[in-house]
Structure 1
């Protein structure tokens, strides 16, 4: 019988292939050349060093928001609040980047840790409400997203600036940007945050797979009642899970505030990094390595899509359709599982 681990590997791969094939048919029926469209997408993501730098830059926050959602998933919680956690992390990172004057060895880690702490705080609220009052985390995290958006906008105008829509750039001592990386990639916005994102993925893997805390978190996710009967503190683990998940998302905000943009502006809407993180976690099967691979795919699709209208005449919205189809096939994994088992049975 096919192992569960094999299914976890095959289903995302098959889902991606089915999504790309379905996208090709949509292009074909819409009067576009799918081969030319996908070649333009690939060229837009990896065609030269500038596009490669931009792709890595896009992958970086996707890894962190994917981890934020995946970590909560592994403990039986649905963290819809990664978007709000990104926003408050972005705000905290820029705030520290502007307010302090210190050597880089102190200033940059302080700004990054401030972002993680802000995201953790934003995860703590739904965590404690879930643990103590049984309030569903989905409802609270959705509301926290809106609170984060509007409170952040107000703080930008009234505290960080004098009624302006954009802050100054953070101090060079708090910046993740690198002249060397930008020069290497023809002045793309790639920055050293990718190293932080990969380190965060290793930390998640280590916590979940190699620590007693991770064992308890997974146990609570599988069965709260059995975990409580075994003597585990369910409430503590629920709160801890949301705090750690929030810190990952807060780090994603730091990547934008200290790296990509170097500042923060009043937002007319959500960044969508947190919402895309849900798709990244789902495609990555809520594992650290899976999230990294899914983030690479999503970053490639998002950056490569910019090249499709100019080179192949294909609208960028088609990439969103392809992503939606991939998620649809992942969500319909039981159909793929049934098809694989049916195929193997016929082989015998």
Structure 2
């Protein structure tokens, strides 16, 4: 079957994409991947699909999306597309509308995070929920990756009459081994050898909420916070750390290619976002046996439970500080929670996800829908 896959921006041929393509190829399907590859890093020839450049804007009213929609219509004709699969809110909208226009069935949508998550602004809870309810009528297969989204999807009426699926994220490599000298690694980034080290990974933006951990740091004696990532909040975070008197214990590391080593030299991983899907960096930290402290939001609370860490309000620095202190003061607890997380992450492995996707694709694309 000739399948059109539509996503938004693609920077690398990442593991999640590889886990998507492998079961499709095993089933003998040919794929055309339409996305924004303008900032792609690497060799696109590694991708087992024809790639087509389109520009999708996250603002649904942006004129680029009209052009993208028209381009999708021409791609469907050019390649004689027989089925459509898509993800991301705007990419999923345009792809499903194009499929409807051209009478293409089946249509599969992978929801990596509905925009009407719990705690979202009112417009998200209304407009975007209505949008997904309407689009469900031109969707035959719906895949979710979090319990919250799966529960919401139960209320949608898919065109096929099928029920939504819940899978274990995009899949991560598990059993990663990192052989480092912790003391030397800490010295190399300016962290004391005997410090209690908190680490996070992610863009420095408002949603990732790095600020709450910086505020908590002043109440965690002797702790050092290593934040890996780049973004627009860098200067604000540096200023806040200086105002709170924790600058010497707050380490902004920028973009890192040695995250496994930084995780291995740390004592606890934290993720404090207001909104997440199924966070890969959290899964990778769990695989390396770290206890975790996270915010009470979709995706994060799917992964962190009381056996493996603590869940806190993303707006409560005191809750984060209390969690860090509980772990700082109890090495045995850190070890037990880390071991639990190392076991739990096995369910989210690439092998598990590829098996789940294989079964879904086999049913969804085995024959053309009537």
**One fold, TM greater than 0.5?**
no
Structure with the bigger percentage of strand: 2
TM-score category (smaller protein): under 0.3
TM-score, structure 2 as length reference: 0.22
| Higher-helix-fraction structure | 1
